[in-house]
């Protein structure tokens, strides 16, 4: 073409969590056996049932013609008022309903958060990184993501010294992003860690982005401090949603809470540009916004969340038990969200393998496992081929650690046990295979 039509950040768009599905489908076809999809964070796809009272609220709203209409660009006022009032009541944080903007899921919000930033302005985020953030940020800049380390040897706590140094010596860093509770590690960051991050942002005149989609999904006796509770006068954005919490990922509904925009004219202008970008799309989906106050305000809601968190706690504890006693890996049982990231301490190599009994599957996987492939991807492909379990390599989360992410979502106890015992056996077989 006479003009290059490819965006500067086109190469940065990677979403392994879904890209691996194609390979999974091929293995399923060739083996004739179903796959345990441990790659994606969709509780509904993994068999979770929404309670009847919640469905009744949604069903009633569906019968109301007004739920088929456009909504205001920021979102329904009644819902924004409900959320602002709830934040005040529960956390003592005061925001105006106009500080809330609705999006078609946080995927939409994340795109706008980075897409509306000036190209030279960078947002530093954690590694391992959740791809929706790291890819959107990198694509906006046209350069690879800038990251600070979450340390598996310290329960996935952020390396605050590294964060401080990177911020100090890289003037292009305009913001710090944190996911709390975190995807892919399941870590819940304590209040003092968040306070320190806020302090770094304050000291270097940055803004903060907190992805808090899992903020109410915490267990093992942990509490999740909201960004709004510690942010003080620093400009910031929190991203929240219903995809994981109701759970209703197909509803495509999430929102942004903006803190301290009035105190910083440049931040205020940036937030307005995010709102203007949303305005060009008219608005976000109306129906989920209509039901948010009715569902979250329902007396059953708190109990529903407790039940779910108790389930994830049970899964977290059992994973720790099943995977304990393997000295070559690090497993931090998650305290929040519903993922666990397992790290190989022992160096992996491309001679390691698993026995793949089905000849057609073996031929297919051998064909796609190239010599220079990251060894954790090789493990993931072999796990898929040998045991029909689909997980995601850790190196695909902008990460140099070798490992993989799986979920706490499987509802069926027997299937869950089978999956995690399969994972355990595969780790041991893989690690021992090169010395054979």
Ligand X SMILES: Cc1ncc(COP(=O)(O)O)c(C=O)c1O
Binding site for ligand X (CB under 6 A): 41, 105-107, 130, 132, 179, 183, 211, 213, 241, 243, 249, 254
Smallest separation, CB 404 to ligand X (Å): 16
Smallest separation, CB 382 to ligand X (Å): 25
8 Å CB contact between 156 and 36: no
Smallest separation, CB 106 to ligand X (Å): 4
**CB closer to ligand X, 207 vs 255:** 255
Smallest separation, CB 388 to ligand X (Å): 23
CB neighbourhood size of 116 (10 A): 17
**CB closer to ligand X, 41 vs 293:** 41
Nearest to 386 by CA among 428, 330, 415, 346: 428
**CB closer to ligand X, 9 vs 105:** 105
Angle at 214 between CA 316 and CA 140, to 5 degrees: 120
**CB closer to ligand X, 17 vs 27:** 17
Distance (Å, rounded) from C-alpha 123 to C-alpha 411?
Answer: 36
8 Å CB contact between 18 and 40: yes
**CB closer to ligand X, 75 vs 375:** 75
Smallest separation, CB 211 to ligand X (Å): 5
**CB closer to ligand X, 213 vs 258:** 213
Smallest separation, CB 356 to ligand X (Å): 30
Smallest separation, CB 297 to ligand X (Å): 21
Smallest separation, CB 87 to ligand X (Å): 18
**CB closer to ligand X, 215 vs 365:** 215
**CB closer to ligand X, 183 vs 316:** 183
Distance (Å, rounded) from C-alpha 114 to C-alpha 95?
Answer: 23
**CB closer to ligand X, 51 vs 107:** 107
Nearest to 402 by CA among 321, 327, 348, 338: 348
Smallest separation, CB 83 to ligand X (Å): 15
Smallest separation, CB 40 to ligand X (Å): 8
**CB closer to ligand X, 344 vs 397:** 397
CA 110 to chain centre: 11
Please give the structure tokens belonging to residue 423: 């994972």
Q: Which residue is nearest to ligand X (CB)?
A: 105
**CB closer to ligand X, 35 vs 253:** 253
């Amino acid at each position: 073409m006479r003009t290059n039509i490819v965006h500067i950040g086109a190469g940065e768009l990677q979403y392994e969590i879904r890209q691996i599905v194609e390979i999974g489908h091929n293995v399923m076809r060739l083996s004739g056996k179903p796959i345990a999809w441990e790659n994606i964070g969709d509780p509904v796809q993994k068999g979770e049932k929404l309670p009847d009272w919640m469905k009744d609220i949604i069903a009633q709203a569906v019968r109301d013609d007004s739920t088929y209409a456009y909504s205001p660009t920021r979102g329904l006022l009644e819902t924004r008022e409900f959320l602002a009032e709830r934040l005040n009541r529960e956390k003592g944080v005061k925001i105006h309903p106009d500080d809330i903007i609705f999006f078609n899921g946080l995927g939409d919000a994340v795109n706008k958060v980075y897409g509306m930033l000036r190209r030279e302005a960078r947002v530093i985020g954690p590694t391992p990184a959740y791809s929706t953030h790291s890819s959107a940020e990198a694509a906006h800049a046209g350069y690879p993501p800038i990251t600070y380390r979450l340390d598996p040897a310290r329960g996935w706590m952020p390396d605050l010294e590294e964060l401080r140094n990177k911020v100090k010596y890289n003037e292009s860093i305009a913001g710090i992003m944190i996911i709390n509770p975190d995807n892919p590690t399941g870590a819940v960051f304590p209040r003092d860690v968040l306070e320190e991050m806020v302090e770094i942002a304050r000291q270097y005149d940055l803004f903060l982005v907190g992805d808090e989609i899992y903020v109410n999904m915490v267990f093992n006796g942990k509490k999740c401090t909201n960004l709004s509770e510690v942010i003080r006068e620093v400009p910031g954005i929190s991203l929240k949603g219903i995809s994981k919490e109701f759970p209703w990922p197909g509803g495509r509904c999430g929102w942004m809470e903006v803190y301290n925009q009035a105190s910083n004219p440049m931040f205020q202008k940036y937030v307005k540009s995010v709102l203007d970008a949303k305005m060009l799309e008219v608005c976000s989906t109306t129906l989920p916004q209509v039901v948010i106050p009715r569902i979250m305000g329902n007396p059953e809601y708190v109990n529903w969340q407790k039940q779910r968190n108790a389930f994830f706690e049970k899964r977290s504890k059992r994973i720790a038990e099943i995977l304990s006693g393997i000295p070559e890996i690090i497993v931090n049982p998650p305290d929040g969200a519903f993922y666990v990231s397992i790290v190989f301490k022992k160096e992996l190599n491309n001679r390691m393998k698993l026995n793949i009994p089905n000849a057609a599957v073996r031929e297919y996987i051998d064909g796609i496992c190239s010599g220079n492939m990251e060894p954790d991807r090789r493990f993931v492909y072999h796990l898929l081929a040998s045991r029909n379990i689909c997980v995601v390599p850790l190196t695909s989360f902008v990460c140099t650690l070798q490992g993989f992410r799986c979920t706490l979502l499987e509802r069926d106890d027997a299937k869950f046990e089978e999956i995690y015992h399969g994972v355990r056996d595969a780790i041991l077989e893989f690690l021992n295979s090169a010395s054979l």
